[in-house]
């Protein structure tokens, strides 16, 4: 099972979506600053070759951006179809320990739709390797599934993300995603989302027993 040390925290600059656009723009500026009629060949042609490679990289990047995947490059789910969900049910207890979802204030419309279609008691799929739009930092996305449709509600808070990144990353590597109980609090905006992550400890223990067995 991967541990925290083997799990990247940020997307590399070379793989970051804006990088090819910035490099291509810089290459075009460089070519325009070195006109072939004025610059010596040993200066113009290397600059031109670099600019051509930058434009090829840009085309490849645009094609990759258009590819459809589930989850996509940002960690969003388009549907639950074809996903292997692993329920992480918490142990029976009288007092529940909940973990609030980070950035829920940015996803109020999606949370409201989840409540309309599935009520306040929800299930949530945890998707490692998620990011904000054009962000580089990897986080664990929280997708509410009320009504059978995934809706992005935010991310695990940093402490919870650090604790469970290894387990969730190992599951995702196998094509599986943990599903935990979730509760939406509030009768109107702003909503808050709380997760019961108690079942992840049991899931982690079960996987450890299976490996040792």
Question: Along the chain (213 residues), what's the average pLDDT of each consecutive run of 10 residues?
Answer: 58 88 91 83 87 90 84 94 95 79 98 97 97 93 96 97 95 96 96 96 85 56
Measured between alpha carbons, how far is 146 from 115 in angstroms, rounded to an integer?
7
Three-state SS sequence of 84-147: EEEECCCCCCCCCCEEEEECHHHHHHHHHHHHHHHCCEEEEEEEEEECCCCCCECEEEEEECHH
Rounded CA gap, 79 and 88, in Å? 20
Per-residue pLDDT, 194: 98
Q: How high is the pLDDT of residue 3?
A: 44
Give the pLDDT score at 133. 85
pLDDT at 209: 66
Residue 146: the pLDDT is 94
Domain residue extents for the chain: 18-65, 84-212
């Amino acid at each position: 099972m991967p541990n925290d040390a083997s799990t990247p925290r940020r997307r590399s600059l070379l793989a970051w979506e804006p990088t090819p656009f910035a490099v291509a723009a810089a290459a075009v500026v460089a070519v325009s600053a070195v006109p072939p009629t004025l610059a010596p060949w040993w200066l113009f042609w290397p600059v031109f070759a670099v600019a051509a490679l930058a434009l090829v990289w840009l085309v490849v990047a645009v094609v990759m951006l258009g590819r459809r995947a589930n989850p996509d490059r940002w960690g969003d789910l388009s549907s639950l179809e074809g996903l292997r969900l692993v329920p992480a049910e918490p142990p029976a207890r009288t007092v529940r320990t909940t973990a609030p979802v980070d950035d829920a204030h940015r996803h109020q419309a999606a949370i409201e739709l989840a409540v309309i279609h599935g009520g306040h008691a929800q299930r949530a799929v945890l998707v490692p390797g998620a990011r904000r739009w054009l962000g580089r930092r990897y986080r664990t996305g929280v997708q509410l599934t009320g009504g059978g449709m995934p809706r992005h509600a935010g991310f695990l808070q940093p402490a919870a993300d650090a604790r469970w990144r290894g387990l969730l990353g190992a599951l995702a590597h196998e094509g599986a995603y943990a599903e935990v109980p979730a509760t939406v609090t509030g009768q109107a905006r702003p909503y808050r989302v709380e997760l019961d992550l108690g079942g992840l400890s049991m899931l982690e223990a079960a996987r450890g027993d299976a490996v040792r067995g």
